[in-house]
Amino acid sequence: MHFCGIMYKMKILGIESSCDETAAAVIEDGQKVLSNVVVSQIDIHAEYGGVIPEIAARSHIEAVNPVIKKALADAGETIDSIDAIAVTHTPGLVGSLLVGTLAARTLAVLHNKPFYPTHHLKSHIYANWLSGYNPEFPLLAAVVSGGHTQIIYMERHDHFEIIGSTRDDAIGECFDKVAKILGLPYPGGPNIAKVALNGNPDKYQLPIPKVDGLDFSFSGIKTAVLRAVQNELGLPITTPSHELKEHLSDQQIADFAASFQKTAVNILIKKLKKARELHPETKSILLAGGVSANELLRTELHNAFDKECQVYVPEFKYSTDNGAMVASAAYYSIQAGEKSSDPYALDISPRSIIR
């Protein structure tokens, strides 16, 4: 806690259930990870090719209490020894958010704990403070995930200015859709990255969308891949995308995956370079969100900016949804002056802008 400029030790229980991971963690002072428990539903949703909201919510109901219990046990703590509770309340799937927030609210009420609702994208940014990292301000954060693609400028802790955003698909969503075209399983991001290792990234030249300013557009790339595949196979454009995989060789799939991945990463790096030019005072550049796990993106980010400023990427285990990032984000919000919320009055929101 923080009173009159004096910092006190603080252990926060963070709970995350915005999509298809049920997660809880105990974090000390925003950086020290005492425990981090994640139960993923990827195997459940893989057969459907994407997340089914109703199934996700039911799975959260089954997992949330055991996950919280294990997070406390792994940290050597009890709910009574925890200083505060933080939970993702926006954005996300309605049913999934309800499960996590209800669990967190109940614990806060029963044990009279300070309660901090936390924005999901803010949490992803603060994954870069875990493991003892200390990004210096002002900074630029590229939030890249299945639902979001944004460039956020931060002058200080808990200050977020969106300076670039996608006008259509998020980059992670585009990875998933291209994976479907190529007949690769869900989730698309890691599977495209895997097969791309055997592909030629220069085999197919895909167009770079011309979007003014720092905004993005990814829907056109998905269509460009579809048309390129149809053209490569000599099939009419009316051929359904789900039938294309039957005609593609493994090498063709690898080449298309590599070419798409290179194009998507180049778009992100190009926009970040422009953002850095507009904000030359920037001292750190961060990656955040599930797509931050992409190895090519990490490599190209370092290649582009290592000589200009500090580059931070979260550890792979903190790139995807987890409770540790939620607790870290809450900690720095508290240091910035955020007050405890009323758990009785909390409302979730499937969509909201980071503020």
Section 173-201 average pLDDT: 96
Tell me the pLDDT tens digit for each residue of 278-287: 999 999 999 9
Contact between 42 and 185 (Cβ < 8 Å)? no
Section 325-345 average pLDDT: 96
**Distance from the Cα of residue 189 to its chain's centroid:** 12
Read off the amino acid at residue 296. L
Q: What angle, rounded to 10 degrees, do the helices at 250-278 and 219-233 form?
A: 150
94 burial class (0-12, 13-18, 19+ CB within 10 angstroms)? exposed
Residue 229: both structure tokens together: 């595949």
Distance, in Å, from the CA atom of 162 to the CA atom of 94, rounded to the nearest integer, reads: 24
Distance, in Å, from the CA atom of 323 to the CA atom of 53, rounded to the nearest integer, reads: 20
Residue 352: both structure tokens together: 């909201």
| pLDDT over 80 (residue 198) | yes
| CATH of region 2-131+318-335 | 3.30.420.40
Contact between 272 and 237 (Cβ < 8 Å)? no
| pLDDT over 90 (residue 1) | no
| pLDDT over 90 (residue 350) | no
Tell me the pLDDT tens digit for each residue of 223-235: 999 999 999 999 9
User: In this structure, is the dihedral angle defined by the CA atoms of residues 48, 51, 56 and 57, taken in order, positive or negative?
Assistant: negative
Average pLDDT, the chain: 94
Name the residue among 320, 352, 343 with its Cα closest to residue 100: 343
Q: What is the pTM of this model?
A: 0.94
| Between residues 1 and 83, the one the model is more confident about | 83
Locate the DSSP E strands across 147-240. 149-154, 161-165
Same fold, 2-131+318-335 and 137-282: yes
Contact between 208 and 224 (Cβ < 8 Å)? no
| pLDDT over 50 (residue 5) | no
Tell me the pLDDT tens digit for each residue of 312-333: 999 999 999 999 999 999 999 9
| CATH of region 137-282 | 3.30.420.40
3-state secondary structure of 86: strand
| pLDDT over 50 (residue 243) | yes
Name the residue among 327, 334, 342 with its Cα closest to residue 85: 327
Tell me the pLDDT tens digit for each residue of 29-41: 999 999 999 999 8
Domain ranges of the chain: 2-131+318-335, 137-282
* Strand ordering across the sheet containing 310-312: 161-165, 149-154, 139-144, 284-288, 310-312
Q: Looking at beta carbons, which pairs linking 151-154 to residues 24 or more positions away fall under 8 Å?
A: 151/214, 151/271, 151/272, 151/275, 152/121, 152/125, 152/354, 153/275, 153/279, 153/282, 154/125
Distance, in Å, from the CA atom of 3 to the CA atom of 152, rounded to the nearest integer, reads: 29
Other Cβ atoms within 10 Å of 107 Cβ, number? 20
Contact between 151 and 142 (Cβ < 8 Å)? yes
- Ranges 23-27, 47-51, 233-237, 266-270: which has the least confidence: 47-51
